[in-house]
């Protein structure tokens, strides 16, 4: 009869449960207390008068891109870009990787419990000293192995190995660091999504402008070719001199060159759109709205500068990077303190298989280990110093991101006022230059003025139309920039204002 008496099962479970509870409910972390940096910001946007448009009850951040942009062709291109853009795919994969790393790190807070089972069959020699073991039996069919015996041993159970009790928050700090890194990746994806939407819209507006410029070039070239034909007829009948013919020919050649340049720009715009959407432009897209008929929201509520801290995903990502670096300091501080690990098992073992699952075969073990840092002060101090330096760098990066975002919004809002004033002046210029060209042509046709006056008037009119197209493009692109700079474009549809959401559908516990 064995002199070893197995401990009661309740005692085993109590010991293991206390060990696990000690790890899960271990002490707090050593992460420094976080205070959000406060870079100097103005309380209002300079050179911008906020809108009084009553239909704008939400900020740009809340307005979905499918509501901000109304051109069906543009919305189809944006949808393709979101689905096919390779940069977005890379960002999504980076998020999945960061989430996986967080799962791995978080799992360290709990023991990795595994189940195992094994059996040993060994024919020892006579000199092995195992002849006394009760697990030695005759070989199969009575055939002897060495001294005529075979050693058999069976075991099975569950357990964990080298589980660290997180008394000083080292693993918790590393878990927090991984979580903040994953959140930063998610914010970066939103920032990239906003950028892609903005880039597609900006390229599309440029394409509309060059398309209109090409149509203007086509019309101008056709008109001047007809003028050249009539001028040559007059020359043949002695009603015009050779200089007038050469001037008309020069205008045709200049218009043809301008038309070729407009076609080149249009094709390059299409290539840029193809790159941004990540696929060839489908042939069955809806017809585009003309440039002058685009109905982007004319005004966007800018809010106050402090709103950017929560609405700009690049700022959110920078803050998560800072919080990740802050958590790393907690892990480096914990390295100065002892580390306790546990190895535990609970199972059965027997020299005879038919007795493996009996009460007498039960076994358990608990092996605590204490590791105390002695001659590691220099290394730990260096790691902590480096971690604090990385945190300080992240603070500076965060503040720079906030300041850059503020400048971007302020610049785009200031440009908005200038573009609106410029558009009024240019529209008036087009009207007056078109009328001047009409009058000059009437005087030339009546023979009361020279062809040179007509050419000058026509040139002024064409220049004013080209300027008008450029101003329209800049005006729309400025609105797109404001929309992006204020954090808009990260979602497709606009959510209803909170005041319009029924209480049953918008409980207090929900956010966003």
Within 124-238, residue ranges assigned H as helices are 170-236
**Domains in the chain and their CATH numbers?**
29-109+166-337+386-497 (1.20.1600.10), 112-165+342-372 (2.20.200.10)
Task: Please state the rounded mean pLDDT for residues 336-344.
Answer: 90
Beta-ladder partners of 346: 158, 364
Report which secondary-structure segment, H or E, holds 484.
helix 451-485
Burial code (b: 16+ CB inside 10 Å, e: under 16) for 118-145 equals: eeeeeebeeeeeeeeeebbeeeeeeeeb
Answer whether residue 128 shows pLDDT above 60. Answer: no
- pLDDT bracket for residue 211 (50, 70, 90): very high
pLDDT above 90 as % of the chain: 32
The pLDDT assigned to 15 comes to 47
Q: What is the pTM of this model?
A: 0.76
Q: Do residues 104 and 174 make contact, with C-beta atoms less than 8 angstroms apart?
A: no
Instruction: Using CB atoms within 10 Å of the CB of residue 443, give its burial: 0 to 12 exposed, 13 to 18 middle, 19+ buried.
Output: middle
pLDDT above 70 as % of the chain: 80
Summarize pLDDT for 383-416 with one digit per residue, the tens. 999 999 999 999 999 999 998 988 888 888 888 8
The pLDDT assigned to 511 comes to 33
Task: Please state the rounded mean pLDDT for residues 483-496.
Answer: 80
Task: Please state the rounded mean pLDDT for residues 310-323.
Answer: 91
CA 418, chain centre distance (Å): 32
Q: Do residues 311 and 302 make contact, with C-beta atoms less than 8 angstroms apart?
A: no
d(CA 74, CA 476): 13
Tokens matching residue 155: 């075991």
The pLDDT assigned to 58 comes to 64
Q: Do residues 116 and 157 make contact, with C-beta atoms less than 8 angstroms apart?
A: yes
Tokens matching residue 488: 């808009």
pLDDT averaged over the chain? 81
d(CA 437, CA 138): 119
Answer whether residue 21 shows pLDDT above 70. Answer: no
Q: Which residue has the higher pLDDT, 504 or 243?
A: 243
In Å, the largest CA–CA distance within the chain is 138
Summarize pLDDT for 464-482 with one digit per residue, the tens. 898 999 999 998 999 899 8
Task: Please state the rounded mean pLDDT for residues 161-179.
Answer: 90
The pLDDT assigned to 356 comes to 85
Q: Which residue has the higher pLDDT, 262 or 2?
A: 262
Backbone angles phi, psi at 160, to 5 degrees: -140, 155
The pLDDT assigned to 503 comes to 37
Nearest to 336 by CA among 377, 285, 389: 377
The pLDDT assigned to 81 comes to 93
Answer whether residue 3 shows pLDDT above 80. Answer: no
Q: Do residues 437 and 461 make contact, with C-beta atoms less than 8 angstroms apart?
A: yes
Answer whether residue 50 shows pLDDT above 90. Answer: no
- Integer angstrom CA distances of residue 116 from 154, 155, 158, 237, 365: 11, 8, 6, 109, 15
Answer whether residue 18 shows pLDDT above 50. Answer: no
DSSP-assigned states of every residue in 326-362 = HHHHHHHHHTTS-EEEEEEEEEEEESSGGGTTSGGGE
Answer whether residue 352 shows pLDDT above 70. Answer: yes
The pLDDT assigned to 415 comes to 87
State the virtual CA torsion across 100, 104, 106, 110 in degrees, nearest 10.
150
């Amino acid at each position: 009869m064995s002199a070893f008496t197995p401990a009661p099962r309740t005692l085993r479970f109590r010991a293991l449960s206390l060990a696990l509870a000690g790890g899960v409910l271990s002490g707090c972390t050593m992460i420094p207390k976080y205070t959000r940096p406060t870079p100097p910001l103005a309380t209002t946007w300079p050179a911008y008068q906020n809108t009084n448009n009553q239909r704008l009850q939400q900020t740009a951040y809340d307005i979905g891109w499918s509501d901000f942009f109304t051109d069906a062709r543009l919305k189809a291109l944006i949808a393709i870009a979101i689905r096919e853009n390779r940069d977005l795919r890379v960002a999504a994969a980076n998020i999945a990787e960061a989430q996986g790393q967080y799962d791995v790190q978080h799992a360290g807070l709990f023991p990795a419990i595994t189940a195992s089972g094994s059996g040993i069959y060994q024919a020892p020699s006579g000199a092995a000293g195992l002849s006394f073991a009760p697990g030695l039996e005759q070989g199969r069919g009575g055939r002897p192995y060495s001294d005529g015996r075979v050693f058999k041993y069976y075991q099975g159970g569950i357990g964990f190995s080298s589980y660290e009790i997180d008394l000083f928050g080292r693993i918790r700090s590393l878990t927090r660091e991984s979580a903040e890194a994953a959140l930063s990746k998610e914010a970066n994806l939103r920032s990239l999504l906003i950028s892609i939407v903005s880039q597609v819209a900006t390229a599309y507006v440029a394409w509309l402008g060059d398309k209109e410029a090409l149509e203007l070039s086509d019309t101008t070239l056709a008109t001047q070719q007809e003028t050249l034909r009539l001028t040559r007829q007059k020359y043949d009948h002695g009603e015009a001199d050779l200089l007038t013919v050469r001037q008309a020919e020069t205008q045709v050649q200049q218009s043809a060159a301008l038309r070729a340049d407009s076609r080149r720009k249009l094709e390059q715009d299409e290539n840029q759109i193809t790159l941004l959407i990540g696929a060839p432009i489908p042939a069955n897209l809806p017809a585009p709205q003309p440039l002058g008929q685009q109905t982007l929201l004319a005004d966007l509520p800018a809010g106050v500068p402090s709103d950017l801290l929560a609405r700009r995903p690049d700022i959110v990502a920078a803050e998560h990077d800072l919080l990740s670096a802050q958590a790393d300091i907690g892990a480096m501080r914990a390295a100065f303190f002892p580390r306790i690990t546990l190895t535990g098992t609970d199972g059965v073992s027997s020299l005879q298989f038919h007795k493996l699952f009996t009460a007498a075969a039960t076994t358990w073990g608990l092996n605590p280990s204490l590791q105390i840092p002695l001659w590691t002060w220099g290394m730990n101090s260096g790691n902590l110093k480096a971690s604090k330096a990385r945190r300080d760098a992240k603070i500076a990066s965060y503040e720079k991101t906030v300041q850059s975002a503020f400048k971007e919004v302020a610049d785009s809002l200031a440009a908005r006022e200038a573009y609106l004033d410029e558009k009024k002046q240019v529209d008036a210029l087009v009207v007056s230059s078109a009328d001047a060209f009409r009058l000059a042509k009437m005087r030339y046709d009546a023979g009361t003025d020279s062809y040179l006056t007509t050419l000058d008037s026509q040139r002024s009119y064409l220049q004013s139309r080209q300027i008008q197209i450029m101003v329209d493009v800049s005006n729309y692109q400025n609105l797109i920039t404001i929309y992006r700079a204020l954090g808009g474009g990260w979602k497709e549809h606009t959510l209803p204002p909170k005041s319009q959401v029924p209480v049953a559908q918008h409980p207090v516990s929900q956010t966003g």
